[in-house]
């Protein structure tokens, strides 16, 4: 497989789809159907190609695989791609969610369908590029480029306050990211290259690491998002169309989590361990604060958005424990949140398409008319709570385990977040699904259509499957993670040989 | 005859301009004049590119890689401006055969500015350019705003030329030379008279490039002048004046770089920050582009402030990308019309996307590129500028610049917002004139695909920078 540039194929296949879509005349009788099917086929094909990559992926090799390197800007800044155990599953998550996004938009998008599909395909290219890039400048290119299609998706096909939301989204993210750009340039000046494989081995001076770490942190903290710069997320989620929310929660937030693992931990290990308590504090605040705010929401999407902030708090907690369980837990939490929050937004989309409101008070007693929907919704709510037997449990448990081994106080606060998650999730479920069906416009609401069943049930299956059997994920993640934390441990030990205590624990079994 | 070979491109334009002036008197066919002017410019581009590196007239004109590239950019800008004029002369009611000829004359002035290696040559080039620009600004003489723009530009421009000349006389007085190479050998730090001279010259140049605080004329002139003239102002003279500043400061005064660096740093920061805030409130798209050009000059000046090979190279990259983007934007502005009536307000664009989707995609690419969002070309311009700034330890400039670019992104996004998110209001002809599409589409495509193969431009600009170091 080494001869075939499979990563480039996965990245640029959606752009081929864009070219095809722009050739289709949407005004003809079958135009809309052709557009939808072309887009769907392209993203499905891309998913199949990415699965082929996963099959050929050597799980025992912790290094980057399927690497490609071409001359780009100069000898230090090249077009360099590759995946390892940390990034490959996030690529699969992206290609996996895209067909659902396209499917979910079939009925709900009434205007400018063609442009909508093109924007999504461009977004897919840019998102996959983020996870594949092994060059900082290339990474930045994909990371920031994603703003353009997302800006248009929220702004054109969004809700009533879409202009406000999309400007907030764009400017918040841009303001965070520009500091990363300066840091990237400074790294280039310092080392003469932006090649990530090289930088992972390179020991930057600690004083520089602190500055660069903060610059990267500014970008990732906005994107993931951490308290107190999370305020764009609820707005963007509420106003975005369903598929936009799915991608936002499912993939875009993961880009920052991935960035923390790959860059903050990998390139600036000393700064990361220095700032870890700071991250813990922010994460704990995020978990508790966002959960409490979620409790008082009246809008379904806003509630799920705040729950995303809380769940991402667990991800950052896990990442900065520097333990194997912590980082593995964070990655599994990201994957699981990618599936579950995407599914929850799709669930909201299902009822929104029917009643055109997201007000929780406007619903009630849906179980009487929509048993299938109630069932699917329940699975995802349970996953969101982190109930044992769902994938949400695996990630949260591993993270809590690792944070407990690092600091008991943080663990206590973090665990209280799980209880709060149960409170707001169950409250949402009770208000929407249970009770008596008294609202007039809900009397003849229809249960899931075949299309919606095709969308929701694979996600439900995966939620439960990985809840019981997460081993396949761990097998893929583990070798690269072990290599990462070994590197960190070495770097930190070199930096502070006298006072070095084994804060960073190596445990391959638990 | 050999002594005229180095200025063959300028000469050919000059001869052509004079001949066209005579032809224009007898042949009432503006299209012919326009075509001949375009052919002249194309020939000039070829002549510039094949010229060997040399100096002429006792080293008062230098033809090096830098001047060749700057001249090519200027010629492309003039060419685009003539094409824009051709597409709009009927509707704007300025059917004057003098337009292409004035552009040609201004082009000669700018080419001399770029090559000038002598204080006198600098002033001759600058004045030849300026005098033609004053006339061009007031070209639409039946239109009040255009006459006002011309007069305003003339008064302030004359003042700045005076400042510049005053500064040049100081420099001559304190060094005893007019040739930049000779001046550089006598430059010593702590020479107050010399520094006063440099300050005055920098003020004059800042006026010509419209850097803050010498920018006041820009919004009014940009708004008042006919749009093809505005486009010309935004394209060629900017490149010429910045190139002049580069040669003047780097060749003449690189030994006392620390003294003039502060001036450039101030101009740069003031331009970037002021433009980012001032542009937010603009309603007229030509005024907005005026502030946008002020901001972009601020970024380009970062490259000059570095004074390093990397700095000059990034400046050339920035100017090239800036030129391409502005050709696209101004030809777009010229196509904002309905049945011969031009729209100039941003709000007139509302809902454009519903009626002209492709047309909107083009302007979206241009606007995101102006905002410096990757993967478009505008990002790379800023990227290289910031590389140069960080390399030269000008961290403050880099940080201010990057923050200003975030604020600046807002006003470009506002145009996109009006196009995409607002309700449709007006109907548009679209690219009714074929030649406008010929300008906008290639520039948008170039901006889009620049990231795939940026190498040629980077190589050329490194080459250009190497002529100073």
In the predicted structure, residue A503 carries a pLDDT above the cut 70: no
In the predicted structure, residue B426 carries a pLDDT above the cut 80: no
What residues form DSSP beta bridges with B284? B345
What are A252's two structure tokens?
């875009």
3-state secondary structure of B469: coil
What distance in Å separates the CA atoms of residue B35 and residue B12, rounded to the nearest whole number? 15
pLDDT at position B432 is: 65
DSSP string, B221-286: HHHHS-HHHHHHHHHHHHHHHHHHHHIIIIIIHGGGHHHHHHHHHHHHHHHHHHHHHHGGG--BHH
What B8-11 contacts at long range (C-beta under 8 Å, 24+ apart), as own/partner pairs, is: B8/B47, B8/B51, B9/B44, B9/B47, B9/B48, B9/B51, B9/B71, B9/B111, B10/B108, B10/B111, B10/B112
pLDDT band at A360 (very low <50, low <70, confident <90, very high): confident
pLDDT at position B345 is: 87
Tell the burial category of A295 from Cβ atoms under 10 Å away from its Cβ (0-12, 13-18, 19+).
middle
Q: Which residue has the tokens 């004059």?
A: B204
Across residues B260-274, what is the average pLDDT? 93
pLDDT at position A62 is: 86
pLDDT at position A507 is: 47
pLDDT at position A293 is: 92
**A352, A354, A359, A361: CA torsion to nearest 10:** -150
pLDDT at position A213 is: 92
What are A181's two structure tokens?
């750009």
Tell the burial category of A23 from Cβ atoms under 10 Å away from its Cβ (0-12, 13-18, 19+).
exposed
What residues form DSSP beta bridges with A70? A79
% chain B with pLDDT above 70: 99
C-alpha dist (Å) from residue A5 to A80, A198, A497, B209: 11, 21, 43, 47
When mean pLDDT is compared across A196-210, A397-411, B426-440, the lowest value belongs to B426-440
pLDDT at position B404 is: 92
pLDDT at position B1 is: 63
What are A55's two structure tokens?
């099959």
Q: Taking each helix axis from N to C terminus, what angle separates A85-108 and A324-355, rounded to the nearest 10 degrees?
A: 0
pLDDT at position A497 is: 54
What distance in Å separates the CA atoms of residue B262 and residue B270, rounded to the nearest whole number? 12
What residues form DSSP beta bridges with B166? none
Across residues B142-151, what is the average pLDDT? 88
Distant-in-sequence, close-in-space partners of B27: CB < 8 Å, separation ≥ 6: B33
pLDDT at position B107 is: 95
Q: Is the dihedral of CA B383, B384, B390, B394 positive or negative?
A: negative
pLDDT at position A496 is: 64
Chain A positions touching B354 (Cβ under 8 A) are: 112
Q: Is B454 an 8 Å CB contact of chain A?
A: yes
In the predicted structure, residue B169 carries a pLDDT above the cut 90: yes
Check B451 against A171: CB less than 8 A apart.
no
What are B123's two structure tokens?
């002033």
Secondary structure, 3-state, A182-246? HHHHHHHHHHCCCEHHHHHHCCCCHHHHHHHHHHHHHHHHHHCCCCCCCCHHHHHHHHCCHHHHH
CB B179, CB B173: distance < 8 Å: no
Convert the pLDDT of each residue in A274-326 to its tens digit. Answer: 898 999 999 999 999 999 999 998 888 899 999 999 999 999 999 998 888 89
What distance in Å separates the CA atoms of residue A193 and residue A74, rounded to the nearest whole number? 9
pLDDT at position A110 is: 77
Chain B positions touching A162 (Cβ under 8 A) are: 421
Query: Residue B63 is inside which H or E element, if any?
Result: strand B61-63
Distant-in-sequence, close-in-space partners of B246: CB < 8 Å, separation ≥ 6: B66, B304, B312, B315, B468
Check A189 against B357: CB less than 8 A apart.
no
Chain A positions touching B353 (Cβ under 8 A) are: 112, 156
What distance in Å separates the CA atoms of residue B269 and residue B267, rounded to the nearest whole number? 6
pLDDT at position A273 is: 87
pLDDT at position A156 is: 87
Check A167 against B417: CB less than 8 A apart.
yes
Q: On the CB side of B105, how many CA atoms lie within 13 Å of its CA?
A: 20
3-state secondary structure of A448: coil
CB B212, CB B275: distance < 8 Å: yes
pLDDT band at B290 (very low <50, low <70, confident <90, very high): very high
User: B448 to chain A: nearest residue by CA?
Assistant: A145
What are A167's two structure tokens?
């400007």
CB B203, CB B160: distance < 8 Å: yes
User: A175 to chain B: nearest residue by CA?
Assistant: B406
Q: Is the dihedral of CA A384, A386, A392, A396 positive or negative?
A: positive
Out of B357, B390, B405, the one facing A115 most closely (by C-beta) is: B357
Convert the pLDDT of each residue in B208-245 to its tens digit. Answer: 999 988 998 999 999 999 899 999 999 999 999 999 99
What residues form DSSP beta bridges with A359? A299
What residues form DSSP beta bridges with B62? B55
DSSP string, A120-166: HHHHHHHHHHHHHB-BHHHHHHHHHHTHHHHHHHHHHH--TTHHHHH
pLDDT band at B430 (very low <50, low <70, confident <90, very high): low
Convert the pLDDT of each residue in A236-252 to its tens digit. Answer: 988 888 888 999 888 99
Out of A152, A170, A178, the one facing B420 most closely (by C-beta) is: A152
pLDDT at position B198 is: 92
Chain A residues with CB-CB distance to B under 8 A?
71-74, 112, 115, 137, 140-142, 144-145, 147-148, 151-152, 155-156, 162-163, 166-167, 170-171, 174-175, 178-179, 181-182, 185-186, 188-189
Q: Which of B391, B66, B123 is nearest to B246 (CA)?
A: B66
Convert the pLDDT of each residue in B330-345 to its tens digit. Answer: 988 888 887 777 888 8
What residues form DSSP beta bridges with B342? B337
Across residues B5-20, what is the average pLDDT? 92
Domain ranges of chain B: 2-465
pLDDT at position B405 is: 92
Q: Please give the span between the terminal C-alpha atoms of chain B, in angstroms, as a whole number.
A: 31
For residue A171, the tally of other CB atoms under 10 A from its CB is 18
Mean pLDDT of chain A: 87
Convert the pLDDT of each residue in B176-193 to its tens digit. Answer: 889 999 999 888 888 888
Q: Is B390 an 8 Å CB contact of chain A?
A: yes
Check A156 against B421: CB less than 8 A apart.
yes
Across residues B5-11, what is the average pLDDT? 90
pLDDT band at A508 (very low <50, low <70, confident <90, very high): very low
pLDDT at position A447 is: 83
Distant-in-sequence, close-in-space partners of A13: CB < 8 Å, separation ≥ 6: A42, A45, A46, A49
What distance in Å separates the CA atoms of residue B296 and residue B315, rounded to the nearest whole number? 11
In the predicted structure, residue A504 carries a pLDDT above the cut 60: no
What distance in Å separates the CA atoms of residue A258 and residue A84, rounded to the nearest whole number? 12
pLDDT band at A510 (very low <50, low <70, confident <90, very high): very low
Mean pLDDT of chain B: 90
- Where residue A163 falls (left for φ over 0; alpha for ψ -120 to 50; beta otherwise) is alpha
Out of B399, B421, B451, the one facing A155 most closely (by C-beta) is: B421
- Say which DSSP state B452 is in: G
In the predicted structure, residue B308 carries a pLDDT above the cut 80: yes
The count of CB pairs under 8 A between chains A and B is: 79
Across residues A115-137, what is the average pLDDT? 91
Convert the pLDDT of each residue in B341-382 to its tens digit. Answer: 788 888 888 888 888 888 888 889 999 999 999 889 999 999
What are B433's two structure tokens?
């004139």
Out of A148, A152, A163, the one facing B373 most closely (by C-beta) is: A148
Convert the pLDDT of each residue in A1-33 to its tens digit. Answer: 456 888 888 899 999 999 988 888 777 778 888
Convert the pLDDT of each residue in B103-137 to its tens digit. Answer: 999 999 999 999 999 999 999 999 999 999 999 99
Across residues A106-122, what is the average pLDDT? 85
% chain A with pLDDT above 70: 96
pLDDT band at A433 (very low <50, low <70, confident <90, very high): confident
């Amino acid at each position: 497989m080494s001869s075939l540039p499979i990563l480039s194929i996965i990245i640029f296949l959606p752009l081929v789809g864009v070219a095809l879509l722009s050739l289709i005349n949407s005004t003809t009788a079958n135009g809309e159907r052709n557009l939808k099917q072309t887009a769907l086929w392209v993203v499905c094909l891309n998913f199949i190609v990415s699965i082929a990559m996963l099959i050929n992926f050597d799980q025992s090799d912790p290094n980057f695989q399927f690497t490609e390197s071409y001359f780009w800007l100069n000898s230090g800044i090249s077009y360099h791609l590759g995946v390892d155990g940390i990034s490959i599953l996030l690529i699969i998550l992206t290609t996996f969610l895209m067909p659902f996004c396209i499917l979910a938009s079939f009925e709900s998008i009434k205007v400018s369908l063609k442009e909508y599909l093109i924007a999504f395909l461009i977004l897919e290219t840019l998102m996959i590029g983020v996870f594949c890039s092994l060059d900082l400048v290339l990474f930045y290119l994909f990371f920031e480029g994603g703003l353009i299609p997302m800006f248009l998706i929220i702004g054109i096909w969004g809700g009533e306050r879409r202009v406000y939301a999309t400007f907030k989204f764009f400017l918040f993210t841009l303001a965070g990211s520009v500091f990363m750009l300066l840091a990237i340039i400074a790294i280039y000046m310092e080392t003469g290259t932006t090649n990530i494989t090289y930088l992972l081995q390179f020991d930057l001076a600690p004083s520089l690491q602190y500055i660069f770490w903060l610059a990267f942190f500014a970008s990732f903290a906005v994107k993931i998002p951490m308290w107190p710069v999370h305020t764009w997320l609820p707005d963007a989620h509420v106003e975005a169309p369903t598929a936009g929310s799915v991608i936002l929660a499912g993939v875009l937030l993961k880009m920052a989590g991935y960035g923390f693992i790959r860059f903050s931990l990998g390139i600036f290990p000393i700064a990361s361990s220095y700032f870890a308590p700071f991250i813990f504090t922010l994460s704990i605040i995020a978990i508790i604060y966002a959960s409490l705010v979620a409790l008082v929401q009246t809008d379904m999407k806003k509630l799920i958005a705040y729950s995303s902030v809380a769940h991402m708090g667990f991800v950052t907690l896990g990442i900065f424990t520097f333990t194997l369980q912590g980082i593995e837990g964070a990655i599994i939490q990201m994957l699981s949140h990618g599936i579950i929050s995407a599914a929850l937004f799709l669930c909201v989309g299902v009822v929104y398409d029917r009643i055109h409101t997201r007000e929780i008070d406007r619903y009630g007693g849906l179980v009487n008319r929509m048993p299938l929907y109630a069932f699917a919704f329940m699975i995802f709510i349970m996953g969101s709570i982190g109930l044992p037997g769902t994938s949400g449990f695996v990630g949260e448990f591993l993270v809590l385990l690792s944070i407990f081994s690092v600091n008991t106080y943080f663990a206590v606060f973090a665990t209280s977040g799980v209880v709060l998650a149960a409170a707001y999730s169950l409250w949402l479920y009770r208000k929407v699904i249970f009770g008596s069906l008294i609202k007039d416009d809900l009397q003849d609401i229809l249960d899931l259509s075949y299309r919606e069943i095709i969308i929701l049930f694979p996600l439900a299956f995966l939620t439960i499957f990985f809840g019981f059997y997460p081993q396949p994920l761990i097998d893929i993640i583990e070798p690269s993670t072990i290599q990462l934390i070994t590197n960190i441990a070495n770097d930190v030990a070199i930096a502070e040989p006298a006072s070095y205590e084994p804060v960073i624990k190596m445990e391959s079994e638990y | 005859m050999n002594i005229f070979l180095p200025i063959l491109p300028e000469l050919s334009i000059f001869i052509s301009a004079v001949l066209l002036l005579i032809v224009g008197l007898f042949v009432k066919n503006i299209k012919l004049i326009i075509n001949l002017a375009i052919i002249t410019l194309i020939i000039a581009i070829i002549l510039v590119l094949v010229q060997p590196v040399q100096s002429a007239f006792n080293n008062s004109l230098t033809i090096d890689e830098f001047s060749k590239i700057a001249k090519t950019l200027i010629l492309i800008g003039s060419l685009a401006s003539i094409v824009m004029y051709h597409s709009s002369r009927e509707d704007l009611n300025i059917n004057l055969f003098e337009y292409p000829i004035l552009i040609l004359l201004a082009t000669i002035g700018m080419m001399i500015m770029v090559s000038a290696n002598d204080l006198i040559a600098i002033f001759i080039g600058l004045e030849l350019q300026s005098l033609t620009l004053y006339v061009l600004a007031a070209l639409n003489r039946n239109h009040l705003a255009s006459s006002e723009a011309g007069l305003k530009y003339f008064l302030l421009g004359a003042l700045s030329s005076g400042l510049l000349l005053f500064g040049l006389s100081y420099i001559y007085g304190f060094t005893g030379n007019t040739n930049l190479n000779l001046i550089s050998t006598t430059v010593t730090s702590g020479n107050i008279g010399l520094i006063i001279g440099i300050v005055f010259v920098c003020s004059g140049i800042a006026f010509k490039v419209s850097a803050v605080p010498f920018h006041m004329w820009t919004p009014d002139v940009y708004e008042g002048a006919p749009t093809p003239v505005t486009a010309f102002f935004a394209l060629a003279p900017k490149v010429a004046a910045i190139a002049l500043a580069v040669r003047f400061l780097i060749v003449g005064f690189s030994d006392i770089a620390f003294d003039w660096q502060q001036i450039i740093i101030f101009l740069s920061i003031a331009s970037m920050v002021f433009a980012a805030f001032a542009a937010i409130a603009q309603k007229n798209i030509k005024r907005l582009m005026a502030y946008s050009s002020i901001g972009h000059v601020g970024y380009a000046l970062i490259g000059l402030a570095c004074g390093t090979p990397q700095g000059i190279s990034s400046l050339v990259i920035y100017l090239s990308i800036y030129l391409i983007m502005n050709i696209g934007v101004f030809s777009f502005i010229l196509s904002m019309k309905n049945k011969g009536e031009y729209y100039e307000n941003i709000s007139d664009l509302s809902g454009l996307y519903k009626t002209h989707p492709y047309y909107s995609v083009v302007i979206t690419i241009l606007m995101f590129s102006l905002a410096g969002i990757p993967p478009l070309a505008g990002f790379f311009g800023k990227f290289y500028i910031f590389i140069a700034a960080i390399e030269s330890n000008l961290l403050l400039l880099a940080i201010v610049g990057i923050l200003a670019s975030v604020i600046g992104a807002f006003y470009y996004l506002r145009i996109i917002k009006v196009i995409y998110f607002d309700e449709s209001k007006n109907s548009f002809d679209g690219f009714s004139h074929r030649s406008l599409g010929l300008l906008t589409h290639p520039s948008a495509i170039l901006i889009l695909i620049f990231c795939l193969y940026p190498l040629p431009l980077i190589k050329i600009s490194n080459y250009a920078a190497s002529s100073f170091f």
